[in-house]
Amino acid sequence: MKYEPTRLEIFLTRLAFLLYGKSVYQAFADCLPFNGNEQVLDFGCGMGTVAYYAARKLPNGQLTCLDISERWLNACRKTLRRYRNVIFLKGESQLLANESFDVVYCHFVLHDISDSELERVIPALTKSLKPGGVLVFREPLSNTKKISVIKYLIEQNRLIPKNSRITDIPVMGNALENVYIKQ
């Protein structure tokens, strides 16, 4: 799958980041289960809207930002230019090493992936987690069928649900946040 955002999409995302960064992206990053020394994956990092807040919570850890888009990765590099604990990867989930991450998070990404691709992506994300590792996702609640597919695939890959909540996100509407643990 090849995808590059338009300049308008990048501009609108940057604008949303500037206007709603704390209430949308920092609020999500603040809920991520970090102690500060974890190896973390931002899957589908985009321009780094969540990564900007996550990287500062990892003073002794490392954040890997993965995206299929070179344009998004370039925007992410700019957003995170002051952080030294970040690695940028272009490509797909096959690049991920087994049991290499303590936390994997996806913010408004999985709903854009076809069901057939999710059948490849979710097992790869699961394998990339260390035992006891955590997978966290936030997705728009408007697409309940897609959320059902995502949850089904995650649970088929033996991740155990830890908690779930619905949040109201400014401008974006209601979203579902789920946390899963790898046994």
Gyration radius of the chain's alpha carbons: 15
Classify the C-alpha dihedral 9-15-20-26 as positive or negative: positive
- What are the beta bridge partners of residue 66? 43, 89
Q: Average pLDDT of 122-137?
A: 97
Q: Average pLDDT of 77-83?
A: 97
Confidence at residue 46, expressed as pLDDT on a 0 to 100 scale: 95
Q: How far apart are CA 91 and CA 3, in angstroms?
A: 11
CATH code, 7-182: 3.40.50.150
Q: How far apart are CA 38 and CA 177, in angstroms?
A: 20
| Residue 174: band (very low, low, confident or very high) from pLDDT cuts 50, 70, 90 | very high
Q: What is the DSSP string of 76-138?
A: HHHHTTT-SSEEEEES-GGGPPTT-EEEEEEES-GGGS-HHHHHHHHHHHHHHEEEEEEEEEE
pTM, rounded to two decimals: 0.94
